[in-house]
Amino acid sequence: MTYIISEIGINHNGDMELAKELIIKSKNSGCDAIKFQKRDIDTVYSTEELDTPRESPFGTTTREQKEGIEFSLEQYKELEQFCKELDLDFIVSCWDSVSLDLVEEHLDVKYHKVASALATDKTFLQKLNDTKKPIILSVGMCTQEEVDAAVEILDNVEYILACTSTYPTKADELNLKYIHTLKEQYPNIKVGFSNHYNGLDACVGSIAFGAECVEFHITKDRTMYGSDQPASIQDSDDLVDSIRKMELMVGDGIKKVYDSEVPIAAKLRKVNDII
């Protein structure tokens, strides 16, 4: 079965109750894993950028906005335990080496997820190897040469996710056939799809191209505050149900006569003398 990751990411807006509500929603929909994001603000952003004016529910600067949507390690520990109690895998995308060290020391994640923005950071990728954890690699914004280089550096890639890093992604920029290309190029690595399209179609369609993992951003309401909300999925129940149905619809590609067809053939077919 397709491994389904519900990415809460930063759509919790720093609210623990909302984060738990989205975890429960993901569980009830039938997802396998929950993913968050972790950043060390002063490592990822320059002082100049953090000091720029930015109106948000958290204040009037970019720093206040970034700090407002970051959970503490204690909060992440609580969320990890909450996921464990619901039998959901817990994943965190670290956006810098400081965050990676903290997550490795204090949390027990199922996978390390390489966000597309970090797929070309050789030092960070090599540091991931030291964790010995399985890796999920998203390849948005990457050339094929950059994808190949990242796979060459990483020791333990379990999934490569086809991805387009626009929020939301336009239909004509999804390129779902790239899933098939990745499967041909990396026959020993499982391939999937990371969604930033704001409908259900892309995730469901990815199954027809052989996706073995689907990751989508989940939200309570796409009109809520947050840069990722417009590219997120509200109807996670419908999405997971459609993915599971598409898994059945794809079949195995071998032509057969189903038992349900036999009485119909007996009724409608008058002649069969071709073989």
Q: Which domain holds residue 66?
A: 3-268
Enter the pTM of the model.
Answer: 0.95
273 within domain boundaries? no
Which CATH number do you get for residue 81? 3.20.20.70
pLDDT tens by residue, 167-195: 999 999 999 999 999 999 999 999 999 99
149 within domain boundaries? yes
The share of the chain scoring above pLDDT 70, in percent, equals: 100
275 within domain boundaries? no
pLDDT tens by residue, 192-237: 999 999 999 999 999 999 999 999 999 999 999 998 999 999 999 9
Is residue 75 classed exposed, middle or buried when 0-12, 13-18 and 19+ CB atoms within 10 A define those classes?
A: middle
274 within domain boundaries? no
Q: Which residues face 215 on adjacent strands?
A: 5, 194
199 within domain boundaries? yes
pLDDT tens by residue, 130-153: 999 999 999 999 999 999 999 999
106 within domain boundaries? yes
What's the structural domain count of the chain?
1
